[in-house]
Amino acid sequence: MAPVSVKRVLISESVDPCCKTILQENGIEVTEKQQMTKEELIAEIQNYDGLVVRSATKVTSDVINAGSNLKIIGRAGTGVDNVDVDAATKRGIIVMNTPSGNTISAAELTCALLMSLSR
């Protein structure tokens, strides 16, 4: 697979600040716009090479087709059920996720709940 050149990324939901920092440190211009409607996202996405979402943003075929420069969609979390992977694949857009991004937090919560049960 050839390297993908990404210059501008839209982050459509709240993510850890380190996400934005990592992208910027690699020369990528980052814009954060939260709580956009589908219509707003469709109007906005044409200006970006990449999109970072969580669970609330639905990346439908309409959104994907509007992203004339879109090269990559990143899902901050497990699964990609809110992304139309078939539509993205047809356009040659990479779809990826971060399934282990919250593993430590989930383990910490599990340990805390076990301790509370032992009381």
SS3 11: strand
* Domain 8-118, CATH: 3.40.50.720
pLDDT at 1: 59
Dist CA 64 CA 41 (whole Å):
10
Residue 81, classified by CB atoms within 10 Å of its CB into exposed (0-12), middle (13-18) or buried (19+), is exposed
> What is the tens place of the pLDDT at every residue in 23-57?
999 999 999 999 999 999 999 999 999 999 999 99
Q: Name the E strands within the chain.
A: 8-11, 29-32, 50-53, 72-75, 94-97
Dist CA 40 CA 17 (whole Å):
23
pLDDT at 92: 94
Block residue for tokens 């996720």:
97
Let me know: does 105 contact 85? Beta carbons within 8 Å.
no
What is the reported pTM? 0.83
Distance of CA 19 to the CA centre of its chain: 10
Domain layout of the chain by residue ranges: 8-118
Per-residue pLDDT of the chain (119 residues; tens, 9 = 90+): 567 789 999 999 998 888 899 999 999 999 999 999 999 999 999 999 999 999 999 999 999 999 999 999 999 888 899 999 999 999 999 999 987 766 777 788 888 888 888 76
Dist CA 54 CA 64 (whole Å):
16
The full DSSP string for 62-93 is HHHHH-TT--EEEESSS--TTB-HHHHHHTT-
pLDDT at 48: 97
